[in-house]
Amino acid sequence: CHDLNLILTPYDILRLKKCLGLKSWDFLKRYTSVHVGPGSGLPVVMLKMEGADMKCPFLETGKGCTVYDDRPGACRTYPLARISCRSKDRNGVEEFYYIVKEPDCLGFQDGVEWTVEEWVKNQEIKPYNEINDIFGELLQAKIEVGDPSLTADQIEIFYRGCYDLDEFRRFFLKGPNLDRYLESGEIIRKITNDELELLKYGIRWVKKRLFQGTCLTCKATHRTRQT
Ligand code: SF4
């Protein structure tokens, strides 16, 4: 839990900000750094390590991981890593796991054998994978569009819809945008009452707005954040 390049996914952020009782913008400002990926052109959110020893901010001496029940998907999956792809033949997502065998991982010395299926169940990784796959559809849509560059406004839309969920709620559910996008009453009820549904909606909304239709020129005031 030191000196990690830990990229946070939209679902990681949802779980962590709820666990810490923070609004998404407070969590993002306090615990993360954001850069635009040179290859993807998309915002990448990373957990900021702390101090000279580059410790995870959630690691406490004598206590271990203080957000254990809501730790990020990568922490749960390790020492496995997951690759997924959409399979036309199987009409769904195909997934592959490989082992990241590092000498620091003491689990390898236990002599206990796990199947991948047992590990995924034991670490409660399924809900993380489910949202990651929806996020993967968005990334795939970006690739299919071809042009890698996004404007600053488009990057802001991506960031808000996928990562800054409380800001997205304010922008979408409490602003004039609700009328503008004319969603059904059932959808509005669902995303108003359930943050997970709001996150799924946000990711799909970004996909539709940026990569599957006319690009949205957002007229709302954009807040500039220091990260
Ligand atoms: S979130 Fe928990 S498990 Fe993950 S790196 Fe930090 S302390 Fe370790």
Confidence (pLDDT) at 88? 67
Average pLDDT on 120-124 reads: 95
147 Cα to the center of ligand 1, angstroms: 36
Q: What is the 3-state secondary structure (H, E, C) of 104-164?
A: CCHHHHCCCCCCHHHHHHHCCCHHHHHHHHHHHHHHHHHHHHCCCCCCHHHHHHHHHHHCC
Residue bearing the bigger pLDDT, 192 or 24: 24
Residue 46 beta carbon below 6 angstroms from any ligand 1 atom: no
By CB atoms closer than 10 A (0-12, 13-18, 19+), residue 16 is: buried
Pick the closest to residue 46 from 73, 7, 86 (CA basis): 7
The answer, yes or no, to whether residue 220 has pLDDT greater than 70, is no
1 lines ligand 1 (CB under 6 A): yes
Measured from the Cα of 74, ligand 1's closest atom is 4
- Model pLDDT for residues 3-42, shown as the tens digit of each residue: 999 999 999 999 999 999 999 999 999 999 999 988 888 9
**What is the model's pLDDT at position 221?**
35
Across the chain, what does the average pLDDT equal? 86
pLDDT of residue 177 exceeding 80, the answer is no
Mean pLDDT for 175-191 is 73
Pocket mutation for ligand 1, best pick of 49, 58, 69 (most atoms within 8 Å of C-beta): 58
Q: Going by C-beta distance under 8 Å and a sequence separation of 6 or more, which residues neighbour residue 179?
A: none
Atom of ligand 1 nearest to the CA of 68: 2
Query: Ligand 1 centroid to 23 CA: how many Å?
Result: 20
Name the DSSP letter for residue 23. Answer: -
> Which one has a higher pLDDT value, 91 or 193?
193
What pTM was computed for the model?
0.87
Residue 200 has pLDDT above 80, yes or no: yes
Which ligand 1 atom sits closest to the C-alpha of 4?
5
Q: Summarize the confidence of residues 212-226 as an average pLDDT.
A: 43
**Residue 155 near ligand 1, beta carbon < 6 Å:** no
- Strand, coil or helix: what is 187? helix
Q: What is the pLDDT of residues 146-166, one digit of tens each?
A: 766 889 999 999 999 999 999
Domain boundaries, the chain: 133-211
Ligand 1 and 58: CB distance under 6 A: yes
| Nearest Cα residue to atom 5 of ligand 1 | 1
Q: What is the pLDDT of residue 53?
A: 92
Ligand 1 atom with least separation from CA of 56: 6
Structure tokens at 7: 């990229």
Q: Each residue of 124-133: pLDDT tens digit?
A: 999 999 999 9
Answer yes or no: is pLDDT of 218 > 50: no
Give the count of beta carbons closer than 10 Å to the beta carbon of residue 8. 23
